[in-house]
Structures are given as C-alpha cells and as structure tokens.
Chains A and B, each alone.
Chain A
Amino acid sequence: MSTDPHKTPHAPSVLEFKSSTFSVPVLVLSSDDLVAIEQQLKEKIRLAPEFFKNSPLVLDLQELNKQGYDINVAALTELVRKSGILPIGIRGGNVQQNKQALDLLIPVYSIHSSGVSAETQKQKTITPPPEPVTDSATTTLITHPIRSGQRIYSSGDLIILAQVSAGSEIMAEGNIHVYSTLRGRALAGVQGNTEARIFCSDLQAELISIAGNYKVSEDLDESVRKKPVQIYLQNHTLIIKDIV
C-alpha cells in the first residue's frame, strides 16, 4: 500500500487521450433581443421536448457579430440553461464574449469556415484550433483473418495482413491495405476523405467504396479480379489499377 506520489516507470497507465467526434446541435443567433430569443427557443423546444431535454448545445455568435449586434454571454447562457439545454461551448464570439464564456467555464471553439474574420484570426493565437483529424488519427494493424460477420473500424489507416472473408466489413477514415485476399466489403475514407485509397493483393471484394462512391462485386471488371490492385477516386469515379 504505497502512497508514493512519484510514479514508477512500471506504473500501469490509468488514462488515455483519444480523439472522438460528436454530433452536437449548434444554435445560430442573428439578434441580440433576449426576449425574442427566449420566446422562439421555447417554441422550438415544444416541438420536440424530449430531444432538447438536457441536450448539449454550442452557441454560434458569428452571424450576430457580423451584423454588429453584441450580446451578453452570461445572460444568454442563463436563458438557455433555463430552457433545459446545456451549453457546452461557443464559437464565432469576439474577444470579450470569449472571455465571458471562459469565466462561465464554457469552452470556446473556433470556426473553420472560409469566412474567418480578422478578429477570429487573432483569437487563434489565444485558443488554437483542434488538430486536423487526419493527423492525430492512428493506424490500426491487424494480423489475424477477418471472418464473416466481423466489422473493423479504424479512425486512421487500416492495415490487414491476413485475409478478409466474404460477409465481413472493414472501414477506415483513411486508407485500407489488405496484404492478402479481400473478399468482404472495404470502405475507405468513410468520413469523406476523397484522397483515401484501397490497396489489396487479391481483389475479390463484395463491395469497395471510397468516400461513399462504391462499386459492388458485379460491377468489377474481370480484368481486375483476383489481382493485386489499388483503388482510388478520380472525378467521383472509382479507378481500379494494377499495382506496378
């Protein structure tokens, strides 16, 4: 029973940081009229009370600031909380609004849209945007066969050193490499990465897809079947080519 605060090099890790993507509703405001906001918010909630109950929410102030309005983030947060919604972040706010948010322990998110104002540019030095997912994502390496009915998902590249059976499904946000026979379904770039590719040493797949553009087995030309090929996207068309 040691309470030694110094970690020994063999201490097992008790935590791990992982990158994960969530779908959170964003409330885009275009007026600073708190009374109007409250009234319209209530009307929306009445349409789907269960959906909004304790729902997380990000407040988007970009449009509002663009139109020259200013809003008190503390008052807005209180109003939203009263409606049973839990604000978990703001974005598109000015320096003062961001500070108000941080005082309320609400994180500030950046806007990655093309129309970044000079002010938000400046803010980037204060709150660096999260790293692009493709850089932080990890490669998954699998050495055992993927059997019928199994599903594998990689948030980065996926490398498989054994066969992928018919009736299985392998998915990756990045590239897929199969150094054996590919008989199952292979979907690369599942989050929309059109640069993703599929490589395999023996193509007999049931389905191949890159960023949602797919071909089923029946559409595969005999000239590419049972051969080592790479598959990539060109003008929304899947190109299947020998690996030379």
Chain B
Amino acid sequence: MARVIVVTSGKGGVGKTTTSAAIAMGLAKKGHKTAVIDFDVGLRNLDLVMGCERRVVYDFVNVINGEASLNQALIRDKNCNLLYILPASQTRDKDALSQEGVGKILDALKKDFKYIVCDSPAGIEKGAHLAMYFADDAFVVTNPEVSSVRDSDRMLGILASKSRRAERNEEPIKEYLLLSRYSPERVKLGEMLSVDDVQEILSLHLLGVIPESKSVLNASNSGIPIILDEKSDAGQAYADIVARYLGEDKPHRFIDDKKGFFGKLFGGK
C-alpha cells in the first residue's frame, strides 16, 4: 500500500525542501518507487534542489487543470530511475490547487508508487493545508529555536484536526520529528534549544537530528540532494532517517559534540 508523506513545518526556511529531496532520494535508493511533489505553487524550489529545473515542461497545476497527463509532467531523476519529481507551477498561485484535483493526482500516483513525498509550502494556508490533507505520515521539520518549535506545534494541531484522516475519524496521521540545523556546540553555549528541550515541548517521536552543515548549501546550489553526499554529516543523518523510517534500528547520531573523548584529549583538528 502506497504511503503519502508530508514534509511540513509551519515556519519557512527550516529545511522542508532539502528534507523532501533527501528523503525522496533515500527511499528511491532503497529500492522503493517514489514520487516527490512540490506543493509550493508560485515559489517553486524543489526542481532546483533536485537539479531538474531545466527539464520542466508541464507542472502540477497543468495536471490538475487537465492540460497535461501525469506521465507527461513527472520528471525522472538523473541519479535514480525509481525517483520522479512533479514540479510546482511558478506562474500561478496556491488558489490554482483544488482539494479534488490534488486528491485525484495522489490517487493516480498511489497506483504506481510506493511512497509519495509532498513538499509543503510554509504557512498554514491553502498550499500547506492541501499538502498535508491526504497524508498518512508527517515529517515535521523543526529548527532548535522557539519560534520554529511553536509553529511546528501549531502544524501538529492542524494535522490532528484538519486532515482527511481526522475528518473521517480514521487512524491519525503518524507524526515524526526531524530536528534540522542542529549544532551541539551552540546548544552547549545555550544559544540553541537542545533535543530534550524540543522533545519536551512537542513530545513527538524523534526520527533524526540533522546537523548544521555547509555541505547542505553546496548540495542545494549544485542541485544534488544532500543524501547523495555520503561523506557529509547531514547526508549521513538523512540516510539514518530514511533507514529508521523504514523500520531499521539505528542509534541517534549528531546530538552530542562532534569532538568525543579522543577529540578532547588530543585537541581539535
């Protein structure tokens, strides 16, 4: 049975698109046929992060309006042939999306794909609402700072009350916490909330911590999902997250200071 995953946060700039690209790639690399949809109509970014911006012909809104078929609009990823991207329209706004249209597209994708990753826009308005409405699982991306945590909390409330599962009184959406841009050094200095602080406020199952890393920006700029950069901390963190989501038991990493006992003993490199 196909599962619809929404990557959401409420707040902007926390790493939703980076996360969507990374986990979609991760799931496809693990052998699952995966589609990733950009719901940010009017501010499309996913195609850039996935490095397929020069191959966009038709988009999400074209498919909703019946101007193109789903197969025409889906772009196959260059790095993994099990991964497809459905880009957002840049010339329209969120009102171009309709609940009925989104539902139809997801139903059609469910027949062919194992995982459908919905990259939600920021905010709690129509675009974000439609991105989460049909979801089975939610990846709530949060930065370790108070405003991001509160916006995530608000989004969790919306997931619990406004989704299709909630409206139909079905089993609620499974919610997972992804703590991104985490810096143990800054937590130590008291400049950032710790994993425990965030967990205490949100009381949510932690799927993984993604460390703050320069390689994320480089990956975005070059259009290669960070998960393919196996040497980087952030890439490894996303690989762990995908493995945990698929049921593998992986201990959490990147929560404590990088320099372990030996690091302290011999000084920083």
Q: How far is the CA of A98 from the CA of B200 in the complex (A)?
A: 61
Nearest-CB residue, chain B, relative to A181: B200
Contact of B153 among A162, A165, A181 (CB under 8 A): A165
Q: Which residues of B contact A181 (CB under 8 A)?
A: 200
Contact with B along A162-179 (1 / 0, CB 8 A): 110111100000000000
Q: Which residues of B contact A147 (CB under 8 A)?
A: 153-154, 156-158, 160
Q: Which residues of B contact A150 (CB under 8 A)?
A: 157, 160-161
- B150:A144 contact, CB within 8 angstroms: no
Contact of A167 among B150, B158, B161, B172 (CB under 8 A): B150
- A166:B153 contact, CB within 8 angstroms: yes
B residues 154-173 near A (Cβ < 8 Å) are 154, 156-158, 160-161, 172
Q: A148 an interface residue at 8 Å Cβ cutoff? A: yes
- A149:B160 contact, CB within 8 angstroms: no
Contact of B154 among A144, A145, A167, A183 (CB under 8 A): A167
State the Cβ distance, A163 to closest chain B Cβ, in Å. Answer: 6
Nearest-CB residue, chain A, relative to B204: A145
Interface size class of chain A, counting residues whose CB lies under 8 Å from the partner chain: 10 to 19
Of listed A146, A148, A167, residue having the most chain B CB within 10 A: A148
Q: How far is the CA of A162 from the CA of B202 in the complex (A)?
A: 11
Q: B201 an interface residue at 8 Å Cβ cutoff? A: yes
- A149:B203 contact, CB within 8 angstroms: no
A residues 185-224 near B (Cβ < 8 Å) are none
Contact with B along A128-163 (1 / 0, CB 8 A): 000000000000000011111110000000000011
Q: Which residues of A contact B160 (CB under 8 A)?
A: 144, 147, 150
State the Cβ distance, A183 to closest chain B Cβ, in Å. Answer: 8
Q: How far is the CA of A147 from the CA of B160 in the complex (A)?
A: 9
Q: Which residues of B contact A163 (CB under 8 A)?
A: 203
Q: How far is the CA of A240 from the CA of B108 in the complex (A)?
A: 57
Q: How far is the CA of A33 from the CA of B79 in the complex (A)?
A: 91
Nearest-CB residue, chain B, relative to A180: B203
Could you tell me how many residues of chain B have their Cβ less than 8 Å away from some Cβ of chain A? 13
Nearest-CB residue, chain B, relative to A150: B157
B residues 179-229 near A (Cβ < 8 Å) are 200-201, 203
Q: Which residues of A contact B203 (CB under 8 A)?
A: 145, 162-163
- B201:A165 contact, CB within 8 angstroms: yes
Q: Which residues of B contact A148 (CB under 8 A)?
A: 150-151, 153-154, 157
Q: How far is the CA of A181 from the CA of B200 in the complex (A)?
A: 9
State the Cβ distance, B68 to closest chain A Cβ, in Å. Answer: 37
State the Cβ distance, A57 to closest chain B Cβ, in Å. Answer: 38
Q: How far is the CA of A147 from the CA of B172 in the complex (A)?
A: 15
Q: Which residues of A contact B157 (CB under 8 A)?
A: 146-150, 165, 168
Q: How far is the CA of A145 from the CA of B200 in the complex (A)?
A: 12
Q: How far is the CA of A183 from the CA of B158 in the complex (A)?
A: 18
Q: Which residues of A contact B156 (CB under 8 A)?
A: 145, 147
Q: Which residues of B contact A145 (CB under 8 A)?
A: 156, 203
Q: How far is the CA of A147 from the CA of B152 in the complex (A)?
A: 9
Q: Which residues of A contact B151 (CB under 8 A)?
A: 148
Contact of A149 among B158, B200, B201 (CB under 8 A): B158
Q: How far is the CA of A165 from the CA of B157 in the complex (A)?
A: 10
State the Cβ distance, A176 to closest chain B Cβ, in Å. Answer: 18
Nearest-CB residue, chain B, relative to A147: B157
State the Cβ distance, B164 to closest chain A Cβ, in Å. Answer: 17
Q: Which residues of A contact B172 (CB under 8 A)?
A: 144
State the Cβ distance, A161 to closest chain B Cβ, in Å. Answer: 12
Q: How far is the CA of A166 from the CA of B151 in the complex (A)?
A: 11
Q: How far is the CA of A168 from the CA of B158 in the complex (A)?
A: 12
Q: How far is the CA of A181 from the CA of B201 in the complex (A)?
A: 9
Q: How far is the CA of A162 from the CA of B172 in the complex (A)?
A: 16
29 A-B contact pairs sorted by A residue (CB < 8 Å): A144-B160, A145-B203, A146-B157, A147-B154, A147-B156, A147-B157, A147-B160, A148-B150, A148-B153, A148-B154, A148-B157, A149-B154, A149-B157, A149-B158, A150-B160, A150-B161, A162-B203, A163-B203, A165-B150, A165-B153, A166-B150, A166-B153, A166-B201, A167-B150, A167-B153, A167-B154, A168-B157, A181-B200, A183-B201
Given A148-B154, A162-B203, 7 additional A-B pairs, CB 8 A: A144-B172, A147-B156, A147-B160, A150-B157, A150-B160, A165-B153, A167-B154
**Interface, chain B (partner A; CB < 8 A):** 150-151, 153-154, 156-158, 160-161, 172, 200-201, 203
